[in-house]
Structure 1
Amino acid sequence: MISKSTIDAVFDAARVEEVIGDFVTLKKSGSNYKGLSPFVNEKTPSFMVSPVKQIWKDFSSGKGGNAISFIMEHEHFSYPEAIRYLAKKYGIEIEETEQSDEEKEQLNEKESMFIVSEFAKKYFEETLFHAEEGKAIGMTYFKERGFTQETIKEFGLGYSPDQWSAFTDAALQKGYSLEYLEKTGLTIVKEDRKFDRFKGRVMFPIQSMSGRVLGFGGRILITDKKAAKYLNSPESDIYHKSKVLYGIFHAKQEIAKQDNCFLVEGYTDVIQMHQTGIKNVVASSGTALTPDQIRLISRLTKNITMLFDGDAAGIRASMRGVDLILEAGMNVRVCPLPDGEDPDSFARKHSKEQLDEYFKNNATDFIRFKANLLMGEAKSDPIKKAELIRDMVQSISKIPDQIQKEIYVQECARIMDISEDVIFNSLAQIGRKELADANKKYVQERKQMEVVHSEQQPKEAIDPQYNLERKIIEILLLYGNMEEQFIELLLDVNEDNEVIEVEHKVEQKVYERIYLSLQEDEVQLTNPTFKVIYKDIMDYFNHNVWDLEKYLKTLNPEMAQEVTSIIMEDEKETLHNWESQNIIVKQKVQGVSQYVTETILTLRMYLLNTMIEKYKVKLKDSDEKRSYEMLTLIMDYTSLMNMFSKRLGQVTSRFKTIEE
């Protein structure tokens, strides 16, 4: 187990904006940062990070927490794995206590698969660098490709021995389970035989955005018509080919920095360009581009430049991904390479400066490139030209931004020498068809839902007490340590011997005011979660100097998520950028004592009203004596309600006067 001192060191070092910045492009928004949610597909930012409070909140998915919880949510890490990841990021040495057998057994299946994959990566690296076969075959191949030893180490390249079960035998000898070797696809089991999937191949580990080993790609080095040139790990619980981009771990920071991502096809394309100095590059690893892969890039940038192999087949294959990129609201440029070149060979022959210059001069907007490409094929054939226009219009229809769409229409009309009206009419036809299809699908889904939910579900009622108790927790978290001036109404006797209310000002900490107010009425929070959080906060106030950042570090993930949701509720307003529209959103900190007083009085009134309604129900079935007692109670409670209502009105009007 990881020692407490290591965990404390990680919490102290980790900055939430730095940790999340490795995965999400964040932009300054007042004192906070905002960005696109990494958990749902969206085009408008709903993800907020607070450097001051050291927390984050995703308003689209409802998730939230601190730096640790983000890594757990985003990378599906366990708590110890998240600590290890951040310890590595911040260069903190991990101190461990001995793990019991029971704790070892608690590792879940995914974690076990990750551990096996990490062992495999190290084994293949060791074989490449230290085994005679690895050096003679694997290292020679990589050197022939022009890869330096530094690059080979950076990408964790390796070699799998050309023996039936060398890797499997080594893994079993080290105590790794055959079950997980098989589930990761590293070992193939047939009846009583077991052998290595990647026998005799150079190895390319495929990593997640955080650097975890998800699977492998292996290239065979001998000519064998029966064997595939490249072989990938099979789909598993940790490796989903359509959701992975090769090189994303090494490219993520440079993609965000350059605000552009080069998209290529193969492993060596990525490695060679990275070695040359173009580090903002990823590969779809030979698969057709998918929405999930595009979404990975969209977390880091809105701009993609696709590098096409210099042959017509390569260009055609790559063009199929353009519409998907446009549909995701991304900007896409294309850059064909000279005939006979691919990104690997082209990067090997040129310096970074030469590559930068080439991409600058040859990367073009997709619409111009596609039009010129297809126009060359259509030439003077009107039928082919009509097909080409339909093809172009289909691509333009994918663009969600109306202004961008109109600019593309103008460009397309100019290149094709055709009226803009014709293109707009074609777009309208596509739009009507898509709308009709969407309506048809909607009607079908509604019918299915009606069959399943034949009886209408009762509408969930709003719970005022829940909202009021949540407000109390919010006040304690955000303003609990503030010293505020509160007004108490005390009873006194005037010169005419009449009992009157006199205002008395007191200076109190907000948390003390809330505690005393609830104690005075013997009020306890009823929501189980809020009850636990309330007690926890009060204990912290009574034993520590309040520090929100430090307090959040003491919470378990479940409580942290609830607390973060409460704290970040106000930050949602900043997502709308109201100030730019001359709409001023009043901050609660401008009237904390009023907010506290109103909340407590409203809770008191709600509880009194609940009591009154309860006694009214009982009154119907009571005898004469009991009825009299209940009527007296109802009258007393009603009188108290009126007094609270009057006070609430006084508080509201008093603060209105102050603000005016």
Structure 2
Amino acid sequence: MAGLIVRKDIDLVRERADLKAIVEEYVTLRSAGVGSFKGLCPFHDERTPSFHIRPAVGTYHCFGCGEHGDVISFLMELEHTTFTETVERLAARVGVELHYEDGGTGPDKAEVGRRRRLIEANKIADELFVKALGSAEAQTARDFLTERGFTAEHARQFGLGYAPQGWSHLLDALRKRGFRDEELRATGLFSEGQRGLYDRFRGRLVWPIRDMTGNTIGFGARKLYEDDPGPKYLNTPETALYKKSQVLYGIDFAKRTIAKQRQLVVVEGYTDVMAAHLAGIGTAVATCGTAFGTEHIKIVRRLISDDGTGGEVIFTFDGDEAGQKAALKAFEEDHRFLAKTYVAVEPSGMDPCDLRRHKGDEAVRALISSRRPLFEFAIRSGLKDYDLDTVEGRAGALRHAAPIVAGIKDSVLRPGYERELAGWLGMDPNVVHRAVAQASRRQAPGPAPRQENAPGRGEPAGGGEGPASGNVAPRPQVQIVRVDPRDPVARRERESLEVVLQHPTLLSAEQWQAFYEARFTVPQYAAVHRGIMTAATGGATPQVWVESISDHVPPEVRGVVSALAVRDIPARTEADVVRYCRDIMNRLFGLQIQHRKAELLGQLQRLGAGGDPAEFSRLNTELMELEARRRALRSDD
């Protein structure tokens, strides 16, 4: 069993990971000053770049939507992986060997090696199939796509390929790359007969099935020739990589849109996914040879942030009997979502692929827009089984529908559907209301869906250390106040914190001492100042330095820390940076000297002529020292 990754290894991963290189895999960056870069935010739609990173401190911050964090949280947000998964992937990328606490172990090295070989085999197969789609033999496959409204560019966009006819095209290719038969059997790419291994996919149009991170883990293949005795669609069997109950086709290129829109559209086939995306429904995915089930729901809930504050899941099914059964099967899992669930059924029975081919992209978008609540579909589908022209039929229909209405999570919608049901049945609304209330009492209250969130940004796998008892008074929240940009005091405080966060090594021991003694007036800046004093870690790398400060401020102030850590500094060269940092700290200290001099002058005034001579002398001496320090600071400018 895996244990907690030790903190020093997490810090080493943060230090070695190149934030700029990783962000540039998702965002086009341009220079925003010395050591600073900016681009369009990957977490929200915008036209003007407000997403800033400062690689030296390993921090990003969007001044538009407020998203912030380090290289680990960046990948967690975009790839929707857990904290542990992300650290382990980064560690493998940057060559850090991880160690685990509590006697735990990391992934078994032999198992990791086997998994890498499986991924490599699927990658090679993917490349072979894509290349084969352009061959003369694959004309039938290309005609199949053309007939369904897909072009060669569409095929490239979705990575489609062709498995050549014959028994050993892929087998020979992998053996030449050094794969042993034991490894080949584990890939699911081959079948085995009396004469040994042979290609599982032959003479078929092939779709690559990829995991959340974009690795090809299996294939779906469509029959093209009449003499093919196999099923219409043939998928990779269960392997160490490919678990059909956990796989959603299209999740690799749909995940970001799903997360942004908090919407997931479930269609039935590979071509339906393609049609939906080409029609502008970028949240479409499909299951692979199995019904939409519990394991799929776990993936979806994490993607749409299913916390009860929004989100929707839309199922599309054919209008035939099989489609209705599939919709009712999906309804059985509805209770596992906090998000609203819908169904969209095309009246004529066309799937999204046929709909796009015959009526165009707008018709596909209209289908999704026509969605109706899944519970409404379940109610009305069930009513068809009863003769509503008889008293007995209406009573049976009410017994069927009342528990469904009672299970509607939205307490505002429930009374409305009671009235709707009364109208559909031609019954007294009060009778329906009593039946729903009775059904509600019979339904045992089940637990709310459990959130399966990954650890928070910067939190080690398994969570950080907490109090031993729950009887600890909560820390009061820091009030984040709006800062007037014209306020010189607030500006000096902000600029000095930017310097300390971004360039701590440029401060002398005397400057550090003066900084610790400084008084900050803006509440959020004062909280950061306290965090810096608490987090002081001599010799820490810039990445660890900023992360440590984030760990030592209240949660509501962490966004302020990330913003200060990436904000542009008006300097063009490294020498300019040094001068700027010195000047900003001198101005802060000058400001603090002014505050202290005002306090001392007030004390002298209150002391009066008849006051204690010793106290009078002490106050005057401190005033002279402060004035000397002020002049010294000005001479440094």
Q: What is the TM-score with the length of structure 1 in the denominator?
A: 0.55
Quote the offset at 1:285 in angstroms: 3.4
How far apart are 1:124 and its partner, in Å? 0.8
Give the alignment of 1:336-485 within 5 angstroms. Answer: 336-357=345-366, 359-360=368-369, 362-379=370-387, 380-435=389-444, 461=468, 481=500
CA gap 1:368/1:15 in 2 versus in 1, 3 angstroms: closer
Aligned twin of 2:128:
123
Alignment of 1:321-332 (within 5 A): 321-332=330-341
Question: Within the alignment, does 1:540 sit opposite 2:548 as a pair?
Answer: no
Whole-angstrom distance in 2 between the partners of 1:142 and 1:212: 24
Give 2:243's match in structure 1, choosing from 240, 244, 252.
240
The whole-number CA distance in structure 1 between the counterparts of 2:416 and 2:295 is 27
User: What's the offset of the Cα at 1:284?
Assistant: 2.4
1:14-163 aligned at under 5 Å gives the runs: 51=62, 65-68=72-75, 71=79, 73-74=81-82, 108-130=113-135, 132-133=136-137, 135-163=138-166
C-alpha change, 1:463 and 1:147, in structure 2 (3 Å) is: closer
| Separation of aligned partners in 1, 2:375 and 2:88 | 49
Task: Read off the aligned partner of 1:378 and give its amino acid letter.
Answer: Y
Q: Match of 1:217? A: 220
Instruction: State the Cα distance separating 1:84 from its structure 2 match.
Output: 11
Give the match's secondary structure for 1:335: strand
Deviations 1:487-521 (CA, angstroms, capped at 9, x unpaired): xxxxxxxxxxxxxxxxxxx96333999xxxxxxxx
For 1:196 and 1:271, the matched residues in 2 are separated by 26
- Partner Cα separation in structure 2 for residue 235 and residue 566 of structure 1: 46
* Residue 138 of structure 2 is aligned to residue 166 of structure 1: no
Helix, strand or coil: the match of 1:129?
coil
- What SS class does the counterpart of residue 412 from structure 2 fall into? helix
Partner of residue 543 from structure 2, selected from 544, 547, 551: 551
* 1:326-380 Cα distance to aligned partner (Å, 9 max, x none): 54122233332133422221111122234434554x4333444444444344232
The answer for the alignment partner of 1:10 in structure 2 is: 21
Q: Equivalent residue for 2:319?
A: 310
Q: Measure the CA separation in 1 of the matches of 2:185 and 2:517.
A: 57
What is the alpha-carbon distance in structure 2 between the residues aligned to residue 405 and residue 118 of structure 1? 50
Secondary structure, in 3 states, of the residue corresponding to 1:218? Answer: strand
Show the counterpart of 1:637. Answer: none
Is 1:510 aligned to 2:516, yes or no?
A: yes
- 1:252 corresponds to which letter in structure 2? K
Question: What secondary structure does 1:151 align onto?
Answer: helix
The question of whether the paired residues in 1 share the 8 Å contact of 2:205 and 2:224 is answered with: yes
The CA deviation at 1:435 is: 2.9
Shift of residue 539 of structure 1? 0.7
Name the counterpart of 1:281: 284
Q: 1:508 corresponds to which letter in structure 2?
A: A
Deviations 1:532-554 (A, max 9, x none): x978x31138xxxxxxxx524x9
Residue 185 (structure 2) aligns with: 182
Distance 1:375 1:461 in 2: 55
Cα distance between partner residues in 2 of 1:308 and 1:68? 34
CA distance in 2, matches of 1:25, 1:419: 49
Code of the residue aligned with 2:296 in structure 1: it is Q
Aligned 1:482-493 pairs, distance under 5 A: none
Q: Which residue of 2 aligns with 1:335?
A: 344
Seen in structure 2, the aligned counterparts of structure 1 residues 269 and 15 have a Cα distance that, compared at 3 Å, is closer
Change (3 A) 1:285 1:406: farther
- C-alpha contact 1:329 1:401 (8 A) present in aligned 2: no
CA distance in 1, matches of 2:130, 2:155: 9
Q: Is the 8 A contact 1:255 1:261 kept in 2?
A: yes
Which amino acid letter does the alignment assign opposite residue 551 of structure 1? Q
Task: Kindly provide the CA deviation profile for residues 31-72 of structure 1, in whole angstroms up to 9, marking residues without a partner as x.
Answer: 99xxxxxxxxxxxxxxxx975897559xxxxxx943246659
- Cα displacement string for residues 551-603 of structure 1 (whole angstroms, at most 9, x for unaligned residues): 24x99xxxx7x9866557456999xxxxxxxxxxxxxxxxxxxxxxxxxxxxx
Task: Assess if the C-alpha contact under 8 Å between 1:198 and 1:218 holds in 2.
Answer: yes
- The Cα shift of 1:152 comes to 0.5
User: What is the CA RMSD across the aligned residues, in angstroms?
Assistant: 5.0
The CA distance in 2 between the partners of 1:403 and 1:572, in whole Å, is: 37
Higher relative contact order (CA 8 A, sep 6+): 2
Deviation at 1:217, TM superposition (A): 0.9
Q: Quote how far apart the aligned CAs of 1:321 are.
A: 0.6
Distance 1:430 1:573 in 2: 47
For 1:539, what is the secondary structure of its paired residue? coil
Task: Give the share of equivalent positions with the same residue, in percent.
Answer: 25
Q: Distance in 2 between matches of 1:373 and 1:12?
A: 48
Q: For the residues of structure 2 that align with 1:180 and 1:357, how far apart are their CA atoms?
A: 47
Aligned partner letter, 1:405: R
Q: CA deviation at 1:188?
A: 3.1
Gaps of 5+ in 2: 1-12, 28-37, 52-59, 95-108, 305-309, 448-466, 476-496, 502-511, 520-533, 561-637
Cα distance change of structure 1 residues 461 and 146 upon mapping to structure 2, 3 Å threshold: closer
Counterpart-to-counterpart distance in 2, 1:285 and 1:204: 11
**Matches of 1:114 and 1:326, distance apart in 2:** 35
* 1:112 Cα deviation after fit: 2.8
CA distance in 1, matches of 2:86, 2:352: 38
Task: Give the count of matched residue pairs.
Answer: 441
> Structure 2 counterpart of 1:194, which letter?
L
Q: Is the 8 A contact 2:272 2:353 kept in 1?
A: yes
Instruction: Rate the CA distance shift 1:571–1:348 in 2: closer, same or farther, 3 A.
Output: farther
Cα drift, residue 392 of structure 1: 2.7
Aligned amino acid, residue 148 of structure 2: R
Q: Structure 1's 567 and 191: CA in aligned 2 closer, same or farther, altered over 3 A?
A: farther
What 5-or-longer segments of structure 1 have no aligned partner?
33-48, 58-63, 87-103, 439-459, 469-477, 483-505, 514-532, 542-549, 575-660
Taking the aligned partners of 2:543 and 2:67, their CA distance within structure 1 comes to: 11
Q: Distance in 2 between matches of 1:235 and 1:325?
A: 26
Between the aligned partners of 1:426 and 1:267, the Cα distance in structure 2 is 43
What are the equivalent positions in structure 2 for 1:593-608 lying under 5 Å apart?
A: none
Deviation of 1:155 after TM superposition, in Å, equals: 0.9
Distance 1:418 1:169 in 2: 70
Query: TM-score, normalising length from structure 2?
Result: 0.57
- Aligned equivalents of 2:437, 2:174: Cα separation in 1: 60
Aligned match of 2:504:
none
